Structure 1
Amino acid sequence: MTADDHLPGPVAGGPVGRAPLAGGPVAVLTNPTAGRGRYRALLPRLLDGLAAAGRPVRLLQASSPAEAEAACRAAVADGAGALVAIGGDGTVHRALQAVAGTDVPFGPIPAGTGNDFALDTGFPADPLAAADVIASALRDGRSRAVDLARMTDSDGVERWYGAVLAAGFDAIVNERANRMRWPRGPRRYDLAILVELARLRPRRYTLRLDGVPHELDAVLVAVGNCPTYGGGMRICPDADPTDGLLDVVVAGRVNRRTLVRVKPRIYQGSHVSHPLVRSFRARTVELSAEGITTYADGERSLTLPVTISAVPGALRLLR
């Protein structure tokens, strides 16, 4: 895919600000293993592209996801003028925890297997083109407000996400794959799908949408701030990260055969027309079910029950 394959569009149409950005350095988080390392050789060119904005660039050091998140938080606390994440949705997710709800602008450079948040918010798919967009915004003091989703569990633990929260079959598959030690690579995920398909059963969920309760049986529940997850699957096809709302898509009492048949339609977003799929929209979503650990932006997150709120303008994007 080239930069022209996904041009900035109206989905990232939040208010544009033009004001001098804070004078601190541009902190850069990078994940050299993202996208199976295929963009690793581009790092020097990406850093040069960012430096062309005339701002000092500081590469953050981290050897694990937890260290990456801590490094981003420390950089923001130390006065970073901007934060840039080079990697996929997992790298972006770690960076968002540091900049959400702050005035520190953020730029994602898509260099992972899944780059849903960056593409859904209008950045080019080509990493070098995305770096140019971010550098231009830095030079001009330009940023654009978009929404984020903030979730809180029953213990008060808070996390932010940008794209989609999975709280059904896909989350269960991820949880099984993460527990498996064999096989390695993508085959582990494929095997986890087969195991969980064999065990597929609807679970009882309680949804409270802006205070209105819904009891339902479902095999898949997704709560989207953006339309896509999993590298381009349009699970919440009408989600808009500038409308102040969350889109909730629920696949009800679906059997194995139907799930396998409907799942490919997610790439076009046409699954929502299936009679067993329901869509909702709300500012606040309270979600509970037994035995579900959620995955946000593809990253293991909080265990249900959780409360998810759309937070308008929680992030300033360098676009």
Structure 2
Amino acid sequence: MRQFTAVVNPTAGGSTGAAALLGVARLLREAGAELETEYSHSLAHAGELARRAGDRGRVVLAVGGDGIAGVVGGALSGTGATLGLVPAGRGNDFARALELPTAAAGIARTLLRGEPRPVDTIEITSAAHHRTVVLGSVYAGIDALANRHANHARLLRGTASYYAGALRAVTTWRPAAYRVTVDGEPHAYRGYTVVAANSGYYGSGRRIAPDARVDDGLLEVVMIHHAPRRLFFALMSELEAGTHVRRPQVRVVRGREIRVEADREVPYGADGEVEAVLPVTAKVLPGALRVLR
């Protein structure tokens, strides 16, 4: 029987990660599995807890949203340890890409009976040569600005904070001149963002990269060029279905290593949490993490 260590983000989704774990924990223990719970007081602390548990041969559960999933998964990347997900955040986009269940019974069944399958991760290197590993995507531009606003919203929670953050970002954004180098090939344009996607979803269910796959050894690079504001709003509404990629203002390429630069200070983020400014390099790590699916 599997032995689990749950790493909990106590404030995931504006409620409690602990509450989301309760029903799953009861089902795991009833099935005879061993479960211990660790509460993180920061994302860095969550990564430390995950590494310690993985070193002990335990299946590590990330309980929370994409931020803690990315940190825990990143900490386990390349170690041979196994990750399980208990989605309890605002977006849960990586769990969505894996088509994981969201109800307690389905989550417990996956954790008890699912097979550890390899997925790709993303190694990020900042201008200061700081290295981070995440799961879902790296994005630089208006979406990173919107996510920053959402993360710092005091009165709104969940999806509402994303919408409010996006509206605030759109009203203040100036198109940036990007230079995006994909496997040595440069792409220059003025626009709104560039996304290097391992997962097809970001921003709470938006299909930014409909053809992205978490286990193909490639990143889907989505570049959104400048457009009139009314057209940009129409394009954003198409993210729900992923049909925005048909627009002439959107270019999609695939690659293993992506370097993103801009002509001014442009924010970038990853998995809903990393907040920094360009330049940044994102490199896929094929099959680096085992996830119960």
TM-score normalised to structure 1 length: 0.83
Report how far residue 239 of structure 1 moved. Answer: 0.3
Q: Give ranges in structure 2 of 5+ residues lacking alignment.
A: none
CA distance in 2, matches of 1:42, 1:213: 44
Match for residue 282 of structure 2?
308
Question: CA 1:90 to 1:179, structure 2 compared with 1: closer, same or farther past 3 Å?
Answer: closer
Equivalent residue runs for 1:172-187 within 5 Å: 172-178=145-151, 183=155, 185=157
CA distance in 1, matches of 2:223, 2:139: 10
The answer to whether the 8 Å contact 1:110/1:126 transfers is no
Determine which of 76, 86, 89 is the counterpart of 1:109.
Answer: 86
Question: CA 1:188 to 1:225, structure 2 compared with 1: closer, same or farther past 3 Å?
Answer: closer
Match for residue 47 of structure 2?
69
Q: Give ranges in structure 1 of 5+ residues lacking alignment.
A: 1-20
Q: Are 2:24 and 1:46 equivalent residues in the alignment?
A: yes
Question: CA 1:226 to 1:192, structure 2 compared with 1: closer, same or farther past 3 Å?
Answer: closer
Worse-matched range after superposition: 281-290 or 40-49:
40-49
Match for residue 9 of structure 1?
none
Deviations along 1:64-116, whole A, 9 cap, x unmatched? 33332332233334x14211112221221121122111110111112222111
SS in 2 for 1:108: strand
Report how far residue 34 of structure 1 moved. Answer: 2.2
SS in 2 for 1:278: strand
Worse-matched range after superposition: 61-70 or 184-193:
184-193
Determine which of 219, 231, 253 is the counterpart of 2:204.
Answer: 231
Question: CA 1:36 to 1:288, structure 2 compared with 1: closer, same or farther past 3 Å?
Answer: same
Determine which of 188, 192, 214 is the counterpart of 1:215.
Answer: 188
Equivalent residue runs for 1:255-294 within 5 Å: 255-289=228-262, 290-294=264-268
SS in 1 for 2:113: helix
Letter in 1 for 2:268: T
Match for residue 10 of structure 1?
none
Q: Are 2:128 and 1:155 equivalent residues in the alignment?
A: yes
The answer to whether the 8 Å contact 1:148/1:310 transfers is yes
Letter in 2 for 1:313: G
Letter in 1 for 2:220: D
SS in 1 for 2:186: strand
**What is the CA RMSD across the aligned residues, in angstroms?**
2.4
CA distance in 2, matches of 1:158, 1:43: 30
Letter in 2 for 1:43: L
Letter in 2 for 1:196: A
Question: CA 1:245 to 1:120, structure 2 compared with 1: closer, same or farther past 3 Å?
Answer: same
The answer to whether the 8 Å contact 2:10/2:40 transfers is no
Larger relative strand fraction: 2
The answer to whether the 8 Å contact 1:53/1:136 transfers is no
The answer to whether the 8 Å contact 1:107/1:317 transfers is yes
Match for residue 100 of structure 2?
123
SS in 1 for 2:111: helix
Question: CA 1:296 to 1:277, structure 2 compared with 1: closer, same or farther past 3 Å?
Answer: same
Q: Are 2:215 and 1:242 equivalent residues in the alignment?
A: yes
Worse-matched range after superposition: 90-99 or 260-269:
90-99
Worse-matched range after superposition: 66-75 or 285-294:
66-75
CA distance in 2, matches of 1:204, 1:81: 46
The answer to whether the 8 Å contact 1:76/1:98 transfers is no
Determine which of 57, 61, 67 is the counterpart of 1:90.
Answer: 67
The answer to whether the 8 Å contact 2:63/2:87 transfers is yes
Report how far residue 213 of structure 1 moved. Answer: 1.3
Q: How many residue pairs are counted as aligned between the two chains?
A: 291
SS in 2 for 1:75: helix
Q: Are 2:57 and 1:60 equivalent residues in the alignment?
A: no
CA distance in 2, matches of 1:296, 1:286: 14
SS in 2 for 1:91: helix
The answer to whether the 8 Å contact 1:27/1:80 transfers is no
Deviations along 1:208-233, whole A, 9 cap, x unmatched? 11111122111121110010011110
